[in-house]
Structure 1
Amino acid sequence: MNARKALAAAAAFVALACTATPAAARDADPVPEQSGLTITVPASVALGAAAPHGNASAQLGTVRVSDNRGLGAKNWTASVTTTTFTTGTATALETIPKSAILYWSGPATITSGTGIFSPGQATANDAVTLDVQRTAFTRTGVSGNNSASWRPTVRVNVPDTAVSGTYTGRLTHTVL
């Protein structure tokens, strides 16, 4: 009997993968390249595997905003959104909703230029669900070229009803 329970539990594990994209690759109104305000993101990350009612998390890699608008530079805000995570044909049992996907930016890993660089969520205790667009990082202050990098973490809480499979989702970072 214990062997059957262990086998059933193992079969219920799901693998989670996340792909990140910059705003210019996805948004209808991307920040034009010639504006001097750009964002770069890591390509993808495997979040690991988790059983239903468990969770998996990983750092995405470095996200970087570069503001080369010079003396005319203004404040900027980097935001993050996500799709649902799905497997198979994305039925209700094959979908992890946005409300089960958490994000925190963590502190800046590198900054340059002047101004105040502020993480949207400095620690895991500040994590927010991605059921709506969230602020990932901001820069305020005097004008001039500047940049900031951070290594956000994503945690996916797997619903009790999730079926086994490889779930994928897409995070999109934008900067304005």
Structure 2
Amino acid sequence: MGSIIHEPIHRELHEVNTETNKVDINRWCLTRYSPSVQQYNTIILFFHLIGPCIINLGSALFIIFGSAQQRSTAQTSRTPREHIYNQFSEHKQLLISPIILLILSLPRLIMSMLSECINPSNHRLLFIFGYFISFTPSMLIFIIFVLPSALYRKKFQETFRRPRRLIHS
């Protein structure tokens, strides 16, 4: 919250008359930044996008290499490289998920970096796309986290098999 405190400070409310009779008034909330605040805002946007991805990837690599090291100590019949390969294949969803979330967040970052003013009535699809693209990672959680993981996929399938067994019994 502290990293984006500059945003509400620089917000301005503007009224735009859309009809000649001045009955229809649209209100737009705009942010105007000085060059230094704009540079800070850009850095914060990238940090909020890339920071969690780097932390997730680092944690996944820590889990994979830590598990491989423990297994190579306990099971000396296999090489450490084989243990690392097995851990990578076992925990591949930990590596795939942050990368997919990063890719899905890129359009939102691009939309927020557009600094020119656009008349929303002329570019409705652009604004609708920009609004709904921010929901894409949330809507695709099943595809991003459950399907790549063998364990989660197995548990998901078991959840649907259980009610069918109860119905047929």
TM-score by length of 1: 0.24
**Higher share in helix:** 2
TM-score by length of 2: 0.25
